[in-house]
Structures are given as C-alpha cells and as structure tokens.
Amino acid sequence: MACVNDSLGELPHGRPPQTEFDTGLDYPRLGSVTFRRGTLTPNQEQLFDEWWPRLGRILTHSDEDQTIDVDEWFGRSGHKTIVEIGSGTGTSTAAMAPLEKDTNVIAVELYKPGLAKLLGSVVRGGIENIRMVRGDGVEVLARMFPPESLDGVRIFFPDPWPKARHHKRRIIQSGTLNLIATRLKPGGVLHVATDHADYAEWINELVEVEPMLEYKGWPWENAPILTDRQVITKFEGKGLDKQHVISEYLWVKK
C-alpha cells in the first residue's frame, strides 16, 4: 500500500491519473494539480517524517493494486469506516473523531499543509482513529476502496467553483454520487454541507439523481453515524461572517 514517497507525503510528478468511467454519467475532471502557496514548518516536517509512514498513504500514478486494507491499517477489525473527501485542515475531522472512537475515519486531501495541520492535531491529541490519504477524492474512492466497503462518506464545504465554465469541476455530480453509492454498504450514509447558494441549488437538482441513494434531507435523527459536525470549520466561519446559509444533505444507501 505504501509507496516510495510516503515518508514525505509527496505526490508523484506529472498529470494525475483519471479513471475512465463507462456509466455515461458526469464526473469532475481534473486538470494539472496546482496548489496555493504553503510550506510546512520545521515541526510539521518532523511530524511528517515520523508519523506519515504509519498514518498516511498516497494515491500513486501506477496501475498497481492500491486497495487499502482498513483492518490492517487501523490495527482492528469489525469497526465502521468513514471517508471524508476534502478534509482541508481537518478542523471538523479532529473534532468529530474522538466522539466516534469506534469508527475508522480516513481523511482525503490534496493540499499537504492541510494534512500537516490535521496530522499535528492527531498526534498532539492522541487521536487513534484517524488516517489520511493524499490524493484526489474521486480517484481515491475509485482506486483505493472496494465496492460496499464504507459506512459513510463526508464532503464538507467542497470548492464551489463559482464560474460557470468551472462547474464541471464540482465534485457533486451524477457520476460521483453513483461512485459513492457503489462504495457505501447498504445503510451507509453520505453527508454533504455547503455554504455556497449556487452550489446548494446545483445539489438540489441532483438529490434524487442516483437510484441507489435515498435522499433523507436534513436533519435525519435516525442517521446511523454522527452528523453533528461539532465545530465551525474555517470555510464555514468565513461563510457565516458573510451571512451565508449553511445547507446540509444526507443520503442513505438502499
């Protein structure tokens, strides 16, 4: 599962892989991956060197089997597993995980400084049920998790790509919902939150598009996983400062 670059948390060079789906549905398509400026502090670099080999994985560009053995990675079996796509700096991830200690939480993020902040929270807080993957969320779901292996998927405040010509990059698409549905176990939950009004309208048009997912709305008192995000994330806080409305969505795999 690990690759040569895992100790540094660095992605391979070149254009990222893109799975070819044959469903006829819409998927977010990546261009060349570029990042905001951001470097790790010496302390963060030291944390990566020491902890990433055990707590982190990287989606490589090779065609080799990269399926994650969750039980082996977490050192336990029989526990629920949730994947959070686009965990950012991990604010909500680190806040929720201690409240669901019997759940394996896997945070997926491309931005290394965000993963570094989450890694710091995990190490300092002694949080034992979080692992991290550096890679594109759609590709990670497609290539690292087998069908019907997850109890939950979380997507909190994804990039809204507000310009019309960039809407095809939005992660919530008919194809992504289908992919998530295939990775969820029956009874598994998808939880999405956004503070972007146009993105909320976009999602509203898609809530019933995937036949394997039953839309439960918000809130859903009988959800089998934790749905209270506990804290205000950085992006949520910025949205609330601008008086944005937070829209949340829950689906269950039929």
Contact 253, 188 (CB under 8 A): yes
71 marked among binding-site residues: no
Indicate the angle between helix axes 137-144 and 174-183, nearest 10 degrees. 40
235 marked among binding-site residues: yes
**Looking at 22, 69, 159, 228, which residue is catalytic?**
159
Residue type, 1: M
136 marked among binding-site residues: yes
109 marked among binding-site residues: yes
128 marked among binding-site residues: no
Smallest CA-to-CA distance from 107 within 124, 127, 132, 82 is with 132
210 marked among binding-site residues: no
* Known catalytic membership, residue 159: yes
74 marked among binding-site residues: no
205 marked among binding-site residues: no
Detail the residues annotated as belonging to a binding site for substrate: 163, 195, 233-236
Active-site residues, by number, are 159
Q: Which residues are annotated as a binding site for S-adenosyl-L-methionine?
A: 84, 109, 136, 159
Binding residues: 84, 109, 136, 159, 163, 195, 233-236
